Amino acid sequence: MTGQPTKKVAFVDAGRHPEIIEMVLPLIAARYHLERTDDYDADYVFHSCRGYDVLKYSGVRIFVTGENVSPNFNISDYALAFDKMDFGDRYCWLPLIKLYRESYARLLLPRKPVDEVVAGKEGFCAYVMSNLKDSAEERTKIFDLLSAYKPVHSGGKWRNNVGGPVADKLAFQSKYKFVIAFENSSTPGYLTEKFAHAAESNAIPIYWGDPTIGSIFNPKAFVNCHDFPSLEDVVERAKEIDANDTLYREMLAEPWFPGGVEPECLRNETFVRFFSNIFDTPHEQAFRRNRSRWGIKQERLLFRMYKKPHEHGIRMLHKYLLELCRRKSQRGNP
């Protein structure tokens, strides 16, 4: 688009394929022309949680993550992450669910006619999950508890019981009344695409993860595990809905957002304002991190730990030995 201000940006610490950063950029593509560079003096540096190469870059640093990792404002000027917190103009809550644009956009549309949805249902509950490494035990527990009531069809690599991993997650899940949508951990604000994928299937999500999700999505449209004292109670609620066709249909008719209105914290305008505050401010005034003495010392320490661990270890050993000698001297021991 002609007339767009050009901003030179670098991508770093986001892996070989920085998808998470590239997923953020469409939020501001209509307002700015972002020219990517590998120069260490790039005006702006988008970085994530896969290293500390960002410390080589002198520009304004913007942290973006798709993982449940908190930003370090000693090295980042600004951040978009999962934490529910206020930090002046330096922070914006950006749950991963927002970046799955097609799935998220469907949450804003009117629900399909209930009769049409019900006609396509063939089974009780679906689950598509492939990775249980370093994952919450609640995922296994809900699967076992629900399976004791009725078969839960698993279409991922984990406990697959449908003849192999499914090729189309949405098509598979759409055949079931319920879909398990469990995050790999539970933290306020940690809300990923799992809820959107379940909702997109026109199923009733059984959700666990972000305990604040009820303030974002309509509690009448899904089963929020955080509203119950135990997963056993969650299963009892699912059984109640499964046995009561009127209740089931009522839930299918509910909008995904309370009153059908997207909350302000998830509207595109919120993120445009956040980035505008960064990019429309004169560059030298846009810095927020401590670039004076103690800020520099912290960055040097982190850089040695990451890039020169042996040198860092020797420094730490030297400090330890000096401190040990000082303490012995104070006790009067030569």
Confidence bin at 322 (pLDDT 50/70/90): confident
For 286, the token pair is 């846009």
SS3 call for 124: strand
Q: Does domain 109-261 correspond to CATH entry 3.40.50.11660?
A: yes
- Between CA 169 and CA 199 the distance in angstroms is 12
Length of the chain: 334
pLDDT at 321: 79
Confidence bin at 58 (pLDDT 50/70/90): very high
Q: Are strands 60-64 and 6-12 parallel, antiparallel or unpaired?
A: unpaired
- Between CA 210 and CA 12 the distance in angstroms is 28
The residue-averaged pLDDT of 149-178 equals 97
pLDDT at 167 over 70: yes
- Residue ranges of the chain assigned to CATH 3.40.50.11660: 109-261
For 287, the token pair is 């810095």
Task: Name the region of 202 (left: φ>0; alpha: ψ -120 to 50; beta: rest).
Answer: left
For 145, the token pair is 């508890």
pLDDT digits (tens, 9 = 90+) for 230-281: 999 999 999 999 999 999 999 999 999 999 999 999 999 999 999 999 999 9
The residue-averaged pLDDT of 139-143 equals 96
Confidence bin at 2 (pLDDT 50/70/90): low
pLDDT at 42 over 80: yes
| CATH of span 6-98+267-289 | 3.40.50.11650
Contacts of 43 (CB under 8 A, 6+ apart): 7, 8, 9, 59, 60, 283
**pTM > 0.75: yes or no:** yes
Q: Between residues 313 and 155, which one has the greater pLDDT?
A: 155
pLDDT at 307 over 90: no
- Residue ranges of the chain assigned to CATH 3.40.50.11650: 6-98+267-289
Contacts of 57 (CB under 8 A, 6+ apart): 10, 12, 40, 41, 42, 45, 47
- Between CA 166 and CA 150 the distance in angstroms is 20
pLDDT at 1 over 60: no
pLDDT at 311: 66
Give me the chain's average pLDDT, please: 93
DSSP for 224-288, please give it: EGGGSSSHHHHHHHHHHHHH-HHHHHHHHHS-SSGGG---GGGSHHHHHHHHHHHHSS-GGGS--
pLDDT at 333 over 70: no
pLDDT at 81: 97
The residue-averaged pLDDT of 282-289 equals 97
The residue-averaged pLDDT of 140-163 equals 97
SS3 call for 97: helix
In contact, 185 and 209? CB cutoff 8 Å: yes
